[in-house]
Amino acid sequence: MLASLFVDTFRFIGDNAALLLQKAAETAELAFAALGIAMLIALPLGLWLGHRHRGLSVALGVSSVGRALPSVALIGFGIAILGIGFWNNTVALVVLGVPPILTNTYFAIEGVDRDVVEAARGMGLTETQILTRVELPLGLPFVLAGIRISAVFVIATATIAGLFGGGGLGDIIANEPAYGLAGVLAAALCVSALALLTAGALGAARNAAFRRMAPSA
Amino acid sequence: MNGFRVADGGGPVIPNFGHGSACLKNNGWFCPEWVRDHWGDILQPALVQHIELTVIAVSIGFGIAFLLALVGFRVRIFDAPLGAFTDFLYAVPSIALFQLLVPFTGLTVTTIEIALVSYTLFVFYRNIVEGLRSVPAEVLESARGMGLTRRQTFWRVELPLAVPAILAGVRVATVSTISIATVAAFLLYYGLGGPIFDALAQPDIFRTELLAAGGLAILLALSADALLTLLQRVLTPWNRLG
């Protein structure tokens, strides 16, 4: 049963490559749009709060509340308020994507050695220069780690959007009667591949940032 | 699959807001009287089921992840593959995993639990291994100097020092399990996801039920988070931020 399911799955992938690619593109569009908006919100806020060493409770509170929000309920609230479509899903995904980025960015910048920051200030760097030339490069690996967590989460959740008219690979996953178990498995593999590829790329960027930070190590 | 309205047999087929107050007739944002009337037959059972789902999944997940982490910690070459395995499980979308398990374990609570357990492994494995590994070399050196065996070093030095990281893992895993468990109702009317999907399945989304059940899920997650944070403080008083 298991073996035939796998054979069927690969046959499904072979027969429906165009459909899977198109649905994967829809999921990627939804997820990356949400991730981009989440970064636009969370990065500046995290950088600013971290630089000012303020808002510890905000950073911690946002991360626990963010984890606590059930995606189904959130998408449901989105539908109740915005109606069914691209935006209710995008808004829900943004809300889920912000907390890991905000929390990691905050702790990345907040945790930069204060002596280093003082030295930079003593050398006459402005506050903006300290943030962009000292704190951000030093904190970059943790900022990227936050974006990585958020990306995996948003991509995995974007499939739930398929239940509520969001399109994408979730359409196939939510419609087992039409596509069969092999179709569900094929679409799930595509989602996993998308998530792992994105995570891999961001992980590589994080490692590169780490190496640049400590060239001697 | 989406037949939970039919599946509950003698239950109401007519939407619940068809009678009663003006608020219910207009499908207002939140009608307290509906919550009062249906606390006993809808909300409370769902809440209890949800807590059961979570406690069982987190306990079993912790047990499995602990054994895996011991292997990954002791035998270093297994660490990367085990980490990648839990990573992969985490990346599988929950609605897909629920469906893929149905042919094997049926439309049962077991199916839901297997999926939930597999999601906790990622968080637990990372935190336990990192926690054990973060014990400073000097501490291990002094333990050896005091004549502790490998086994004693593990139980008396490494494990206690890893407790903050492990508890942080318990917290994250518990809260995310509460959240993911709502998706399970896509499969089977069970837990707080039941009323949520029910409300969404009404032609004109039943807002009160959605807000009440969704709100309960969020409240449950936040209470669990607060409770576990408190436990973390009590168990590791030396670790202020945990």
Contact yes or no for B182 and A70 at CB 8 A: yes
- Secondary-structure class of domain B49-235 per CATH: mainly alpha
pTM to 2 decimal places: 0.80
Cβ count within 10 A of residue A164: 19
Best to test chain B binding among A20, A72, A169 (most B CBs inside 10 Å): A72
Domains, chain A, with CATH or none: 26-213 (1.10.3720.10)
**Cα–Cα dist A168/A86, whole Å:** 11
Q: Which amino acid is at A141?
A: P
Residue B49 phi/psi, 5-degree rounding, is -60, -40
Sign of the Cα torsion B224, B226, B230, B235 reads positive
Q: Which amino acid is at B37?
A: D
Half-sphere exposure of B213 (CA within 13 A, CB side): 33
DSSP B205: -
User: If pLDDT is split at 50, 70 and 90, which confidence band does A43 have?
Assistant: very high
A172 contacts chain B (CB < 8 A): no
**Cα–Cα dist B54/B182, whole Å:** 11
pLDDT of residue B20: 66
pLDDT of residue A214: 62
Half-sphere exposure of A135 (CA within 13 A, CB side): 29
The model's pLDDT over A75-101, given as tens digits with 9 standing for 90+, comes to 877 777 777 767 778 888 898 899 889
Residue in chain A nearest B184 by alpha carbon = A72
A28 contacts chain B (CB < 8 A): no
pLDDT of residue B6: 43
Cβ count within 10 A of residue A83: 11
Contact yes or no for A76 and B205 at CB 8 A: yes
- Which positions ≥6 away from A113 have C-beta within 8 Å? A138
For the ranges A21-30, A131-140, B10-19, B50-59, which has the lowest average pLDDT? Answer: B10-19
Residue B175 phi/psi, 5-degree rounding, is -65, -45
Q: With contact defined as beta carbons under 8 Å apart, do A74 and A92 qualify?
A: yes
**Cα–Cα dist A69/A214, whole Å:** 38
CA distance A22 to chain B (A): 18
Estimate to the nearest angstrom the gap between the alpha carbon of B12 and the chain centroid: 30
**Cα–Cα dist B56/A122, whole Å:** 56
For the ranges A34-48, A178-192, B82-96, which has the lowest average pLDDT? Answer: B82-96
A178 contacts chain B (CB < 8 A): no
CA distance B25 to chain A (A): 16
Cβ count within 10 A of residue A143: 25
pLDDT of residue A31: 92
- pLDDT of residue A126 exceeding 60, the answer is yes
Exposed, middle or buried: residue A58 (CB in 10 Å: 0-12, 13-18, 19+)?
A: middle
**Cα–Cα dist B178/A72, whole Å:** 12
Half-sphere exposure of B179 (CA within 13 A, CB side): 26
pLDDT of residue B19: 58
For chain B, give percent helix, strand, coil, nearest 5: 80, 0, 20
* Tokens 């306990």 belong to residue: B59
Cβ count within 10 A of residue A110: 20
Contact yes or no for B96 and A159 at CB 8 A: yes
Estimate to the nearest angstrom the gap between the alpha carbon of B152 and the chain centroid: 33
DSSP B189: S
User: If pLDDT is split at 50, 70 and 90, which confidence band does A152 have?
Assistant: confident
Mean pLDDT in consecutive groups of 10 residues from the start of chain B, 242 residues: 44 56 74 80 89 95 95 89 86 80 85 91 89 88 90 90 88 89 86 87 80 89 90 76 44
Contact yes or no for B93 and A188 at CB 8 A: yes
pLDDT of residue B56: 96
pLDDT of residue B185: 86
A159 contacts chain B (CB < 8 A): yes
**Cα–Cα dist B66/B73, whole Å:** 10
